[in-house]
Every structure is written in structure tokens, then in C-alpha cells.
Amino acid sequence: MTLTNKTAIITGGAGGIGRATVHRYVRDGAKVLVADLDLAAAQSVVNEVEADGHAGTAVAHAVDVSDFSQVEQMVQAAVDAFGGVDVIFNNAGIAGGKPLLEHDIEADYHRMIRIDQDGVYYGILAAGRQMAKQGRGGVIINTSSVYGLDAAELSFTYSAAKAAVISFTRSAAYELAEHGIRSVAITPGRVATPIINQFSDELKQTFAAEQMRGRLTDPDEIADVVAFLGSDESRVINGTVVNVEDGYSVFKQRLELPEF
């Protein structure tokens, strides 16, 4: 599998799954625009890449994905730096929530929708237009979540946004196929990102127990799948939701059952 001669945009590229994916893409031969709200953190990832011996393969770019004009500028920055866009990984997002009846509409609904839902739509649209203009196809990969498929605690708006990402993915695959552009979504489960690592050891153990291996998924393991999806070897995967949740959706918890 190779990503040689491909240019990728990775949003939320400064941490967690995004950072791991930057490193994997560069190792596999891609040029990467590391896009993040925190420019200093994005530059830090670029510095890591260069320290690993991959100078000139990554550049940092500041973007607020809830602002379409900034997303357009991000796509243009990739074109200016590397000559085009072959893959976009719409990965930036926020998490959190409160019980529905305690919602502050701006903080607990509109803000999350703007970032987790609108931000993915903007990435699909801006990158899709550039890919169609280039005329050589491309791949759009969107981060949804197991919560985009299931109801869960404190996730009323988050689940809605992640469900919309799945719908966007399928519709984009349908509409963009004539341009040779694929669209795929991933649904991570419990991943050891800064969002989850901030919680207590007890809660992290509970999260880990919800997955088949009994441990949190490493961001590098998600990056491996995203690299495959961006490669030509996955060319028949289109409009698909790829579950990267270590069996989270299969069961809720293991039970100590009596013999009978």
C-alpha cells in the first residue's frame, strides 16, 4: 500500500487521530497539509515530521472548519503548497454535552453543529470542487462516530451531527462518483485521544471494557485504516461506513454468568 504522489489535507491534524494520521500518511509517501484551529500545535506536528526525516512533506495551516471561507482557503493552501488535493480527511471535531433538558442552545447545539456537522460539509464541498476541477479523482474521508449510529448518554447533539456525517458521506459518494471521487466515513469507538485521556482511570477502564479487546484503541490503529482508505488499494470502497470501533457495537459489557 502506498500514498506516494498524493497530497492530503488532514483537519484536526494537531492531535489524537489527526496527528497519528499525519505521521502515517507521510511515512507512506504523501504530502500533507496539517490543518488545525491551533496553528502552533499544527506546526509542532510538522516539526515532528521533519525530525523523523521527512522534511518538506508537511505544512501547517490554521483553520476554523465552521467558517466556509476559511475551509476554502485551506484547500487553496494545499494547492499552493503541493499542487493539488487528492485526499481530505475531515476529522476536526469537538465532543461533550449535557442532558437534553439542561441544554444551552448556543453552547450545546449550535456550536457543535457548526463544527462537527457543518465543518464536514464545508470540507466535502470545498475539496470536492477542487478535486473535480483537477479531473483526476480523489478521496473524501469523514470522521463520524459509533454515536452516529447509536443513542448514548449526554450526546444528543453530538449523535445528530455524527449521523449527519454518515448521510453526507453516502450522498457525496453518489453525487461525486462521476468525477472519480470516493467518499467514505469511519466510526471510531473508544480511542485514547486527549478527549478521553482527560477522564479518570475508572471511567477509562469502563470505556475500554466496552470494546472486544478490553482496551482503548490507539490513534495509530485508526490512522492505519485511514491510510488504507486514502490509497488506491481501497478503490472499491465508496459510500461506505467503516466501523473502526473494536466491536463496540456488538455488545455493551461482559457478564459473569453462572454455570447452568
Residues noted as catalytic? 145, 158, 162
Of residues 38, 158, 145, 45, the one with CA closest to residue 91: 145
**With contact defined as beta carbons under 8 Å apart, do 78 and 30 qualify?**
no
How far does CA 161 lie from the centroid of its chain?
Answer: 13
CA quadruple 151, 154, 155, 156: dihedral positive or negative? Answer: positive
What is the three-class DSSP state of 35? strand
Strand ranges inside the chain, DSSP E: 7-11, 31-36, 58-62, 87-90, 138-143, 181-188, 241-244
Cβ proximity of 41 and 63 under 8 Å = no
The DSSP 8-state label assigned to residue 81 in this structure reads: H
Whole-number Å distance between alpha carbons of 25 and 6: 9
C-beta atoms surrounding 73 within 10 Å: 15
Q: Give the three-state DSSP class for 192.
A: coil
Distances from the Cα of 135 to the Cα of 100, 155, 239, angstroms: 45, 39, 20
Neighbours of 96 (CB within 10 A): 13
